[in-house]
């Protein structure tokens, strides 16, 4: 194995935070690809420039996504990274593992790849970092025969992910882990065979804390919520009062100012609560959501390219989210169909909704306009009307003339 002099990277082995260089060298001790990846990276550090060639189209038979092809411009100098493809393995919901299956994943990867991983990629996949093209089919055979499938890449449904949910959280309003699993299974075809204008991501968060950052990182942000009252355990409130200034830290920080505390009793005007979670997260023993549970579906978030970053906005204020998730599945299909009909190449669904207008989108998916969908009404008067809209307004006025009562 080639010995590389790596003074710049060596510096990143010092210090208390776990070192990725140590990880790369550790893999490099017994793997030529990883060893060359270290030398290759040192070169990047010394010249302040990356050396990966543009793109790379590789994969496994039957699938159009799941593998990110990568070739180095310096393949002769660093033969171990001449091919250095990434394989995305679909993670289990909530990133729960047993040591037994992780060891099995490692053994297969050591046999075919660099021995380097990312645990995990930002979308959620277990990322196997660096292998040659000819290794792809055999490693896919080994993984799939043991129950592991590839994740998504390209213009497909990307691998869905979810928060820890009811597995270990008292705030989960629905079964994020099961929803994530069932939806991933339902749309296997859409995940493995890119058929869209661009990528489409779904993330499942159990409450508005949004521990998978669905609001910012998914075309479909499925956020748990409830319709009942927040249950208050006044005895526990008193315990909190011993160590916390409830008025300063809870009541005054409530965004809707719907709480009060007189030193004895905490009150919440639940009809004015917007379920932001602040009070619940700070007094987890005293406060619990109750009543009907479901999700708010927000859509559209994405990174800046091309029209600027978007955060997801409310499309469906409330939907029940229970197996077999029939309503949600139908909803996703309708959204994709409209997107497919209207998108230009490489246009995310949020960009298309912005370009075509909410009305076009909402009518296509059969969701009525609701004030919960907006932060504020439009301020300009550049309004579209259809003949049917005007006919409906006129009919209402005719009705009012008859009854003598205005209906706004």
Partner 1 sequence: MALPQRKTDIGPPHYKQFLPPVIQKNYGDWKYHEVLTPGSMVHVAESGDKLWTVRMASPRILSTDTIREICALAEKYCDGYLRFTSRNNVEFLVSDEKKVAPLMKELKDQKRTVGGIGPMISNVVHTQGWVHCHSACTDASGLVKSMMDELHDYFTTKELPNKVRLAVACCVNMCGAVHCSDIAIVAVHTKMPEINHDNFKNMCEMPTVIGACPTRAISPDPAKKSVKINPDKCMYCGNCFTVCPPISIKNPERDGVAIVVGGKVSSLRSNPKFSKLVIPYISNEPPRWPKVVAAVKHIVDVYAKNAKKHERVGEWIERIGWERFFSLTGIDFTFQSIDDFTFMRDTMRTASTFKW
DSSP string across 246-277: HIIIIITT-TT--EEE-SS-EEE-GGG-----
Least distance from partner 1 to the Cβ atom of residue 303, Å: 4
Q: Does 155 bind partner 1 (CB under 8 A)?
A: no
Q: C-alpha dihedral over 115, 121, 125, 126, to 10 degrees?
A: 20
Rounded to whole angstroms, how far apart are CA atoms 275 and 205? Answer: 14
Q: Nearer to partner 1 by C-beta: 87 or 365?
A: 87
Closest CB 316 distance from partner 1, rounded Å: 16
Strand partners, 9: none
Tell me the three state secondary structure of residue 299: strand
- Minimum CB separation of residue 159 from partner 1 in Å reads 8
Q: Which of 288, 224, 281 is nearest to 253 (CA)?
A: 281
Helices 358-365 and 326-342 meet at what angle, rounded to 10? 130
Q: Would you tell me how many other CB atoms lie within 10 Å of the CB of residue 16?
A: 5
User: Is 238 among the residues that bind partner 1 (CB under 8 A)?
Assistant: no
| Tokens, residue 241 | 């009062």
In terms of CB distance, is 188 or 370 closer to partner 1?
188
Residue 185 contacts partner 1 per CB under 8 A: yes
Largest CA distance in the chain: 93
232 counts as binding partner 1 under rule CB under 8 A? no
For partner 1, give the closer residue by CB, 198 or 361: 198
**For residues 157 and 365, which CB has a smaller minimum distance to partner 1 in the complex?**
157
- Is 324 a binding residue for partner 1 by CB under 8 A? The answer is no
Q: Does 323 bind partner 1 (CB under 8 A)?
A: no
Q: For residues 109-128, which are near partner 1 according to CB under 8 A?
A: 109-110, 115-120, 122
- Residue number, 165 or 336, with CB nearest to partner 1: 165
> Applying CB under 8 A, which of residues 3, 5, 16, 134 lies at the interface with partner 1?
16
346 is a site residue for partner 1 (CB under 8 A) = yes
Binder to partner 1 among 163, 179, 222, 315 (CB under 8 A)? 163
Measure the CA–CA gap between 92 and 156, rounded to whole angstroms: 19
Q: Which helix (H) or strand (E) holds 307?
A: none
Give yes or no for residue 318 binding partner 1 (CB under 8 A).
no
Q: Is 234 in the site for partner 1 (CB under 8 A)?
A: no
Residue 281 makes contact with partner 1 by CB under 8 A: yes
User: Which residues contact residue 338 at a Cβ distance below 8 angstroms, ignoring those fewer than 6 apart?
Assistant: 360, 361, 364, 365
- What's the rounded Cα separation, in Å, for the pair 403 and 318? 35
Question: How far, in Å, CA of 345 to CA of 211, rounded?
Answer: 31
Using CB under 8 A, pick the residue from 35, 36, 67, 84 that binds partner 1. Answer: 84
Question: With CB under 8 A as the contact rule, which of the stretches 15-23, 329-337, 359-367, 397-405 interacts with partner 1?
Answer: 15-23
- Least separation in angstroms between CB 264 and partner 1: 22
**Residue 137 in the binding site for partner 1 (CB under 8 A):** yes
Question: Cβ(197)–Cβ(344) under 8 Å?
Answer: yes
As beta bridge partners, residue 261 has: 266
- Does residue 277 touch partner 1 according to CB under 8 A? yes
Chain residues 368-407 in contact with partner 1, contact rule CB under 8 A:
none
Residue 91 in contact with partner 1, rule: CB under 8 A: yes
Using CB under 8 A as the binding rule, the residues of this chain from 32 to 71 that contact partner 1 are 34, 37, 41, 44-55, 60, 62-63, 68, 70
Number of residues binding to partner 1, judged by CB under 8 A: 130
Q: What distance in Å separates the CA atoms of residue 296 and residue 227, rounded to the nearest whole number? A: 11
């Amino acid at each position: 194995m080639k010995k590389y002099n790596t003074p710049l990277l060596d510096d990143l082995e010092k210090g208390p935070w776990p070192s990725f260089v140590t990880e790369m060298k550790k893999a490099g001790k017994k793997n030529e690809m990883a060893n060359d990846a270290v030398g290759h990276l040192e070169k990047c550090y010394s010249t302040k420039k990356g050396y990966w060639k543009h793109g790379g189209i590789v994969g496994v038979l039957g699938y159009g996504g799941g593998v990110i092809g990568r070739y180095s411009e310096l393949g002769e100098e660093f033969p171990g990274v001449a091919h250095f493809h990434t394989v995305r393995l679909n993670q289990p919901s909530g990133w729960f593992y047993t040591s037994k299956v992780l060891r099995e994943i490692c053994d297969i990867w050591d046999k075919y790849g660099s021995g380097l991983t990312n645990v995990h990629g930002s979308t959620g996949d277990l990322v196997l970092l660096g292998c040659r093209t000819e290794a792809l089919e055999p490693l896919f055979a080994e993984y799939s025969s043991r129950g592991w499938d590839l994740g998504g890449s390209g213009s497909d449904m990307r691998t869905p992910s979810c928060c820890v949910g009811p597995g270990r959280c008292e705030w989960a309003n629905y079964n994020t882990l099961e929803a994530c699993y069932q939806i991933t299974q339902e749309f296997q075809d859409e995940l493995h065979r890119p058929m869209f204008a661009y990528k489409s991501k779904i993330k499942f968060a159990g409450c508005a804390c949004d521990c998978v950052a669905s609001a910012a990182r998914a075309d479909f942000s499925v956020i748990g919520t409830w319709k009942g009252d927040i249950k208050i355990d006044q005895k526990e409130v008193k315990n909190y009062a011993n160590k916390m200034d409830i008025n300063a830290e809870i009541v005054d920080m409530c965004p809707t100012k719907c709480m009060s505390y007189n030193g004895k009793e905490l009150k919440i005007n639940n009809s004015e609560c917007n379920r932001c979670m602040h009070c619940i997260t700070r007094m987890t023993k005293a406060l619990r959501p109750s009543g009907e549970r479901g999700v708010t579906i927000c859509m559209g978030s994405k990174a800046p390219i091309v029209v600027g970053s978007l955060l997801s906005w409310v499309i469906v204020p409330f939907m029940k989210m229970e197996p077999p998730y029939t309503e949600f599945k139908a909803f996703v299909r309708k959204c994709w169909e409209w997107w497919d009909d209207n998108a230009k190449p490489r246009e995310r669904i949020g960009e298309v909704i912005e370009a075509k207008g909410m009305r076009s989108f909402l009518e296509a998916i059969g969701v009525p306009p609701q004030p919960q969908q907006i932060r504020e009404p439009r301020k300009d008067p550049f309004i579209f009307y259809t003949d049917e809209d005007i006919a409906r307004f006129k009919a209402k006025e005719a009705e009012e003339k008859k009854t003598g009562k205005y209906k706004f």
